[in-house]
Amino acid sequence: MGETQESGAAPVVSGVTYDIRKVLAALPHRYPLLLVDKVLSLEIGEEIRAVKAVSFNEQFFQGHFPGRPIMPGVLQIEALAQAAGILAIETLELAGSGKLVYFMGIEQAKFRTPVEPGCLLELNAGFLQKRARVCKFWGNASVEGKVTCEVQFTAMIADPPAE
């Protein structure tokens, strides 16, 4: 998984902690709704840095908007939530448990700059509040250091639906 360094605080998993194979193992999402390509850093119990390579081939660009393709803001929030889901899974040691991380609420969402094809969308998310079944997160997305989206959201840790 990468090296873990202890510096008196929470452990930081350094280097490329998740390539796409590890992202696929951590999250139940699949194309076209998998919106995290790589995890750059993860501080257990604190925050995560991940990226989404935004390609013109994304399905949503066909209709949003044909003459001026822009990534929908709700998908930026979904990408942040997926990154936060990885953080929650690692922090709460849920890997392999089958548990899922579900949205409960989205608050204070602000969209600052459009995200266009060809961008590398940087995803930063962290805990505001952490409990066994409910967590609150902050998140911001950016392109080349320019914030595109800011949000706070709440998620519930739950068993998957019965089949």
Report pLDDT for 145: 97
Report pLDDT for 137: 98
No. of H helices and E strands in the chain? 2, 8
Point out the residues that are catalytic.
64
Please tell me which residue, 115 or 17, carries the higher pLDDT value. 115
What's the rounded Cα separation, in Å, for the pair 151 and 67? Answer: 28
Give the residue from 102, 106, 40, 42 showing the smallest Cα distance to 76.
Answer: 106
Report pLDDT for 105: 97
Name the class of domain 4-158: alpha beta
Q: Is residue 75 scored above 80 in pLDDT?
A: yes
Report pLDDT for 157: 93
Residue ranges in the chain assigned as alpha helix (H): 20-26, 73-91
**pLDDT tens digits, residue range 136-150?**
999 999 999 999 999
Task: Please provide the average confidence, as pLDDT, over all residues in the chain.
Answer: 89
Report pLDDT for 13: 53
**pLDDT tens digits, residue range 79-118?**
999 999 999 999 999 888 888 889 999 999 999 999 999 9
**What do you get for the CA distance between the two ends of the chain, in Å?**
32
Q: Is residue 66 scored above 50 in pLDDT?
A: yes
Contact criterion met (CB below 8 Å) for 63 and 125: no
